[in-house]
Amino acid sequence: LTQAEIRHAPVDLSTMADTLVRQLQARDPARPVEVRIEPGLRVEGDEALLRTALGCLIENAWKFSAKRDPAVIEIGRNGSGEPATFFVRDNGAGFDMTYVGKLFAPFQRLHKGAEFPGNGIGLAKAHRVIRRHGGQIWAEARVGQGATFFFTLG
């Protein structure tokens, strides 16, 4: 994530998100999840690295919305301004914004491992990829009402 040369090319984030969601649905076919992916989300960037970042964000949304019925996950673009601001939103557990500064550090967890398993590295990976693309990533959430992760690319 930090050393490989970035190979800029057109990337269709909508298609990528659809593929990532289908993989999660294949692993958990009985789970009711309503997924809304905005069509036409296109960027310039390194496809493999962006797949890693988007995958981490979607997997987080999938994991933290597991106790909702139905879970709702949205992937889209916020407005039409520049730079483009993309988001991954869920209606899951959310988190206390007091701790937002810890989100993107490796091995930091805001929820107990017994409640939501994981190693605390996914958001750190997404952060690193987005920063390598000259972008920014941030989050907004409310406990029990879900989270939205926003990102831009440079």
DSSP letter string, 32-59: -EEEEE-TT-EEEE-HHHHHHHHHHHHH
* Pairing assessment for the beta strands 146-151 and 137-142 based on DSSP bridges: antiparallel
Q: What is the pLDDT of residue 116?
A: 46
- pTM here is 0.87
Question: How high does pLDDT run on average in the chain?
Answer: 87
How do residues 7-20 score in pLDDT, each as one tens digit? 999 999 999 999 99
First to last CA, the chain: 17
How do residues 32-66 score in pLDDT, each as one tens digit? 999 999 999 999 999 999 999 999 999 999 998 98
Q: What is the pLDDT of residue 4?
A: 73
